[in-house]
Amino acid sequence: MLTRLDIEVLSLSRGERRLFDGLSFSLSAGETAALTGANGAGKTSLLRAVAGFIRPDAGAIVFHGADGEMEAETAQRSALHLLGHHEGLKPQRTARQELGFQVEWLGGSAEAMDAAVVRLKLSPLLDLETRKLSAGQRRRLSLARLVAAPRALWLLDEPLAPLDEAWRGVAAELMAEHLAGGGMILAAVHDPLPVAARSLDLGDVR
């Protein structure tokens, strides 16, 4: 199980443009970091770098498990969730098919999926094709996947943006439970997160 994430003097670029230099921070079990910064400051790129999709120019992203350093690839394949702007839902498949696949693929159980469906009140939506879902409903489906397949590190990109007030409350509960269970959250946000979070302004690092 992943217990700590260390970002060590990290530099990231997109194309020719340097996003930030020398970013260092660490995140331990039960902690949340809220990434802020102007559009294009590199919040999403940092999340994608942690997930292993972008190679940093310099510095390192180090994952620590209960018994020492974890290999990055192992951590990325078994210990983190990335929830981005695109939810990866196929428009022609039903919510049940998509959620079922995602949960099974990410290592969750059928029972955990049923519990997540109840929690996020998804049962009336399960037989709809995902193209018929609203942005908020799609986000709820994605949150269900985070809950049903337990993984320690949540990388969230504007997690609350499409949700209404009531569902933001539920999302806040889910995050608090995840943190209480030793999870970690690294979230890119414009609005403040509903859980206690350390703020990390990427505009300052540059």
Partner 1 sequence: MKAARALFARELSLAWGGGGGPLLACGFLLCLTAILPLAAGGDPRVLAPAASGASWMALALASLLSLERMFERDLEDGALDLLATGPLPLEAVVGIKALAQWLATGLPLAVAAPVAALALGQPPELIGLTGASAALGGLGFAFTGALGAALALGARRGGLLIAVVVLPLFIPPVVFGAGALTRAASGQSPASALALLGAYVLFALVIAPVAGAAAVRNAQG
Strands (E), 45-202: 58-65, 68-70, 80-83, 153-157, 184-188, 198-201
> According to the binding rule CB under 8 A, does residue 97 interact with partner 1?
yes
Among 19, 29, 80, 188, binds partner 1 (CB under 8 A): 80
> According to the binding rule CB under 8 A, does residue 161 interact with partner 1?
no
Give the integer Cα–Cα distance in Å for 97 and 131: 13
Confirm if 137 and 65 have CB atoms less than 8 A apart: no
Closest to partner 1 by CB, 34 vs 80, is: 80
Closest to partner 1 by CB, 128 vs 196, is: 128
> According to the binding rule CB under 8 A, does residue 107 interact with partner 1?
yes
Among 17, 92, 164, 165, binds partner 1 (CB under 8 A): 92
Closest to partner 1 by CB, 53 vs 192, is: 53
Q: Which residues pair with 200 in a beta bridge?
A: 35
> According to the binding rule CB under 8 A, does residue 25 interact with partner 1?
no
> According to the binding rule CB under 8 A, does residue 77 interact with partner 1?
yes
User: Tokens 């996020």 label which residue?
Assistant: 120
Mention every residue, 6+ apart, whose C-beta is less than 8 A from residue 50: 5, 7, 61, 80, 153, 155, 186
> According to the binding rule CB under 8 A, does residue 11 interact with partner 1?
no
**Where along the sequence are the contacts to partner 1 (CB under 8 A)?**
48, 51-55, 73, 76-78, 80-82, 84-93, 97, 100-102, 104-107
